[in-house]
Amino acid sequence: MKCLKISLAVAAVAVFCSPAMAVHLDNPNLLADPSFEGTLTFDGPPFVGTWEGFNAGGSSTADFTTNMPRTGAQSLETNIGADANLFAGAFQDARFGFGSAGAMAWFSGWHKLVGAAGGSEIRIEWRDSVADVEISRTPNLTTSPVGAGYEEFIVSSSVPAGANTARVVYAIQSFGGALNQQVFVDDVNFNVEGVPEPASVALLGLASLALVGMRRR
């Protein structure tokens, strides 16, 4: 039992002492399945815990594929064929709780182009999950990948008052004319300054109890 307590204390130190990363990755990732290794759903809410796909039908599709992973076995594949006014993408809701107004938040990831460039729409839709309303949304990041390898994208924003949820969206569209493209997306991250992931909270809680136990000896 003593060994368990010591190992938990060491784990807590490791959490506090993890090496500095790029600023947009500094906080715990609040997205489930950030590497698209599970299943893309098309079954409506809830949108927390899994990715939900959407498309315009016809030659537009969104799916998880083993074709072009950046890491793991799968990536998200969005695809629109040679027609105008198509769209395809996926989104997920990440909960961070009320009380983060003004804190910085980041939605980042990696995307890779096959076919015609342009048409990416990457954004955060800020929501109040209790009232089930959208508060506001970031402008679309429309920087599309240019081809060859995976390229990083980053949407940064401060959390607006009244929001407890971020709906992170990756979509491609051909509203401006036919594009005939596929975009692969992998290794996404959404985090909010000062918001820990539930698992870290539980671990720190256990470690604190272990330290209290050690002091009492």
Which residues lie near Ca ion (CB under 5 A)?
Answer: 35, 41, 43, 52, 69, 71-72, 186
In the complex, minimum distance from the CB of residue 129 to Ca ion, in angstroms, rounded to a whole number:
15
In the complex, minimum distance from the CB of residue 205 to Ca ion, in angstroms, rounded to a whole number:
30
What sign does the CA torsion over 138, 141, 142, 144 have? negative
d(CA 136, CA 38) in angstroms, rounded, equals 29
* Rg (alpha carbons) of the chain, rounded to whole number: 20
d(CA 63, CA 121) in angstroms, rounded, equals 17
DSSP 8-state assignment for residue 103: -
In the complex, minimum distance from the CB of residue 93 to Ca ion, in angstroms, rounded to a whole number:
10
In the complex, minimum distance from the CB of residue 80 to Ca ion, in angstroms, rounded to a whole number:
21
Task: CB nearer to Ca ion: give 159 or 168.
Answer: 168
Task: CB nearer to Ca ion: give 64 or 106.
Answer: 64
In the complex, minimum distance from the CB of residue 70 to Ca ion, in angstroms, rounded to a whole number:
6
In the complex, minimum distance from the CB of residue 116 to Ca ion, in angstroms, rounded to a whole number:
24
Alpha helices, DSSP H, located in the chain: 2-16, 198-216
> Per-residue DSSP letters for 33-79?
STT--S--B-S-S--BSS-EEEE-STT-EEEEESSS-SSSS-EEEEE
How wide is the angle at C-alpha 144 spanned by C-alphas 139 and 148, nearest 5°?
160
Task: CB nearer to Ca ion: give 77 or 120.
Answer: 77
Please list, in sequence order, all residues whose beta carbon lies within 8 angstroms of the beta carbon of residue 93, skipping any fewer than 6 positions away: 46, 47, 48, 127, 129, 165, 166, 167
